[in-house]
Amino acid sequence: MKIRPLWILALVVPASLIIHLQKSAQVFASDDDQTDTGREISIDCGVTEESQDSNGFHHEADDAEFVESGKIYNVSSDDIYANSQEQVWEQMKTVRSFPEGVRNCYTLKPKNGKCNNYLIRVYMSYGNYDHKNSIPYFHLHLGVNFWEKIKFQNVTDIRRKTVVQLSPTNYIDVCLINVGKGTPFISLLELWPLSNSIYRASSSLLPLGLMTCVNLGMSENLKFIRYAADIYGRSWLNGKIDNSKPIYTSEGINIDVKEYRLPSDVLKTAVRAQNVSSSLYINLTSINFTADNEHYIYLHFFDFEEHSNGEVRSMEITFTDTIREPVTLKHEDVRTLVKKIPKGVILNGISITSTPGSSLPPMINAYEIYRALPQPNTPTHEEDVDAMRNIKHAYNIMRISWQGDPCMPIDYRWAGVTCNYSERIPRVTSLNMSSSKLAGQIVTSFSNLMTLEALDLSNNQLTGEIPESLAELPNLKLLNLTGNNLTGSIPKALRDKSTTGLTLILDGNPGLCQTSSCKAITKKFIKPLVASVASVAVLTTIVYISLMLCRHKRKHHSDSKVMLVKKDDQIRLKNQGFSQAELHRITKDFETEIGEGGFGKVYLGRLKDVTQVAVKLLSKSSQQGFDEFQSEANLLSLIYHKNLVSLVGYCDDGDMRALIYEYMEKGNLRNLLSDNNPNVLKWNERLQIALDAACDSIDLET
């Protein structure tokens, strides 16, 4: 069964809770903050401790959190300084190279998770790190699909590859593929969160590989505009157009830069034609268009020149004889024109002319060209990927092939794993970890591989009991546990299943009770056993559902974790209980009333760490209120979703009952949707809430 968290929420969340969607307003504020901090992950490959470079930029440690294989090297000192003009030259001094295996991957776990837009970039500079003077050639994969070929001309070349992707998975794998022409290596890996509305041309969700990104009209002595000037990590090359005139504005830019968040240096410089009747021509013969790919062109305009009497600048952009677009600009208009160039069309250039009535010459600030990367492979089912990763970590398995996606691409699937490829989404059908030095218990993650038909864990050092949950695998035909140190008796459900098509192989486990006398012993205890199994089952179901609910945002959950134990109609939240006295202090004796909720009044409070909170006090009279109080406390303590307000704590002291929430400064959902409110949710914000909701519950179609 596929559990779809938001649908469940819709079913179980009491109406009163829905108003807590108010949280989304804050989410946008914090998303913005995040993009303001620029890149989220930067790994200086080969440097195994966190570091800061001379520009003050932070780099993560290149360690097992991201990569499990490879060897680190310093590049040859003779070659380092050749690159010292580059912003990233310090990061080019060390590399991680992958002499073993065909596919080696870095795995990134961005905070925003799947269905969000990211810019991912790798840098590679050989620098003769292996003292062999032999430059390798290899491939890059993004997730389960081909991304780029990596070729170098010189030992000191720096290769930079950039892709923008709406990630279909919570984990992003960047893999280096050995194609038999030298050992792959990497120097620097970066990930930047982007707005979800940009670089998403038309209906396509294909990743876009950057081909060129050019700013026009820049001063001669600058080579690039980039981070930190560009908050999205783009590197704008200084470009030229023949017979054009550079123009710039020295005025501060006081406009909404819109989703693309172009750096102000890109907006402030441009080129225009010499006069109204001449045109601009962007020569693209050096761009390697390929007939097999779609391409996407982004043309950026900011018309900072003065226009007299409300004149407009009216232009026509010609891509090919048949692909043309008009662009009309008023003074201070910012515009990005996105054009899809279909497969089979090779562009030689783009010309920009003024249309007959226009009295202003054509102009342009910047352009970008991307290649849409076909995605013939679909990643393995998310539940299988999670289960396989959990199994891998539970037994600390460092097999070289156990990196990236377990089933895809077929040629690189994990050793011992077989998959079913007959549906669009591959699934794991058998797992052979025979003689793999596994020690410890049989973890329950095996039981999450819902389509598993064969599990071979023979000849390991597994201990403990055989988990009954394995019997829940509907298609399991073979369970080979030969040659371990398992103990206890065989779970009844498995014994039953072995009479209906499951082959159970258990010999070579001296401590395991397999005889009929063993069955007789268990019979004596059958009654209490049934009782306890039943309660365990109920408990497991509750824990399972709450885990499913929490799973998506577990990372965020950890810092606002509230554990709840229900006992005799009392609610206990571990470490989160507040006393009456504390509530009086937090709210300054209930000084500021901020509203009236379903079961009582709401007061503003301030915790010791100055976090603002809303304290919902349960009015003493209301029993209906008490039930609501309980269900709200129960539910909120179990889930964390970014569109729901989170519970900070509760008070159940004497005759005072209260829930303490994060305080939502911007008011409730009704306010946010009301036109009278200055902070009314914008359309794109509403869209984003819908997108989050949809993406949490629907598999991404590509």
Ligand X SMILES: *[C@@H]1O[C@H](CO)[C@@H](O)[C@H](O)[C@H]1NC(C)=O
Q: By the criterion CB under 6 A, which residues form the site for ligand X?
A: 72-74, 432, 434, 454, 456, 458-459, 478, 480, 482-483, 505
Least Å distance, CB 122 to ligand X, is 20
For ligand X, which is the closer residue by CB, 130 or 303?
130
User: Residue 534: helix, strand or coil by DSSP?
Assistant: helix
Least Å distance, CB 475 to ligand X, is 14
Least Å distance, CB 19 to ligand X, is 54
Q: In the beta sheet, which residues pair with residue 659?
A: 616, 650
For ligand X, which is the closer residue by CB, 360 or 438?
438
Question: Which of 401, 404, 387 has the alpha carbon at shortest distance from 450?
Answer: 387
DSSP character for 22?
Answer: G
Least Å distance, CB 442 to ligand X, is 15
Cβ-Cβ contacts under 8 Å for 628 (sequence gap 6 or more): 14, 16, 598, 599
Least Å distance, CB 452 to ligand X, is 11
Q: Can you tell me the distance from the alpha carbon of 178 to that of 291, in angstroms, rounded to the nearest whole number? A: 26
For ligand X, which is the closer residue by CB, 454 or 545?
454
For the chain, the farthest-separated pair of C-alpha atoms sits apart, in whole angstroms, at: 101
Count of alpha carbons within 13 Å of 122, Cβ hemisphere only?
25
- Measured at CB, which residue is nearest to ligand X? 458
Q: Can you tell me the distance from the alpha carbon of 174 to that of 463, in angstroms, rounded to the nearest whole number? A: 36
Burial of residue 27 (CB within 10 Å: 0-12, 13-18, 19+) is middle
Least Å distance, CB 567 to ligand X, is 46
For ligand X, which is the closer residue by CB, 433 or 443?
433
Q: Can you tell me the distance from the alpha carbon of 129 to that of 150, in angstroms, rounded to the nearest whole number? A: 17
Q: In the beta sheet, which residues pair with residue 74?
A: 94
For ligand X, which is the closer residue by CB, 73 or 171?
73
User: Residue 369: helix, strand or coil by DSSP?
Assistant: strand
Least Å distance, CB 59 to ligand X, is 16
What Cα–Cα distance (Å) separates residue 52 from each residue in 39, 42, 57, 210? 14, 11, 5, 27
Q: In the beta sheet, which residues pair with residue 272?
A: 245, 363
Q: Can you tell me the distance from the alpha carbon of 288 to that of 371, in angstroms, rounded to the nearest whole number? A: 10
For ligand X, which is the closer residue by CB, 261 or 495?
495
Alpha carbon 342 to chain centroid, angstroms: 29
For ligand X, which is the closer residue by CB, 426 or 483?
483
For ligand X, which is the closer residue by CB, 273 or 452?
452
Is 93 within 8 Å of 80 (Cβ atoms)?
yes
For ligand X, which is the closer residue by CB, 456 or 628?
456
Place of tokens 């968040």: 261
Q: In the beta sheet, which residues pair with residue 304?
A: none
Question: Which of 195, 191, 249 has the alpha carbon at shortest distance from 217?
Answer: 249
Least Å distance, CB 456 to ligand X, is 4
Place of tokens 């911007």: 666
For ligand X, which is the closer residue by CB, 463 or 480?
480
Question: Which of 17, 15, 4 has the alpha carbon at shortest distance from 637?
Answer: 17
Least Å distance, CB 68 to ligand X, is 18
Least Å distance, CB 649 to ligand X, is 49
What are the structure tokens assigned to 232, written together? 């999205």
